[in-house]
Amino acid sequence: MSLLDRIPDLSDDEVVTFLSNARRLSDEGDPKQQAAANDLLPALEQEAETRRQARLESAKAKRAASRKASARHAA
């Protein structure tokens, strides 16, 4: 199984770590490392963004639920 296939199964922290490493190797690695990093970067960036959006939506829903609960208790 390649790393590309494993990305959806990685934890949020692992995705961030791999993304950071891929960005670093893309700039500073030897040619083989740069090629591998450049292959992984789009998928890692997409996964990181998808997860970031999901966290934002979850926080937004949580805040809305909290406001509804507060409004009910105040009434």
What does the pLDDT look like over 8-50, one tens digit per residue?
A: 999 999 999 999 999 999 999 999 999 999 999 999 999 999 9
Residue 66 confidence (pLDDT) = 80
Task: Write down the pTM of the prediction.
Answer: 0.79
Q: Is the pLDDT of residue 73 over 70?
A: no
DSSP state of 14: H
Letter for the amino acid at 18? F
- Gap between the Cα atoms of 25 and 6, Å rounded: 19
**Please, what is the Cα angle at 60 between 23 and 45, to 5 degrees?**
15
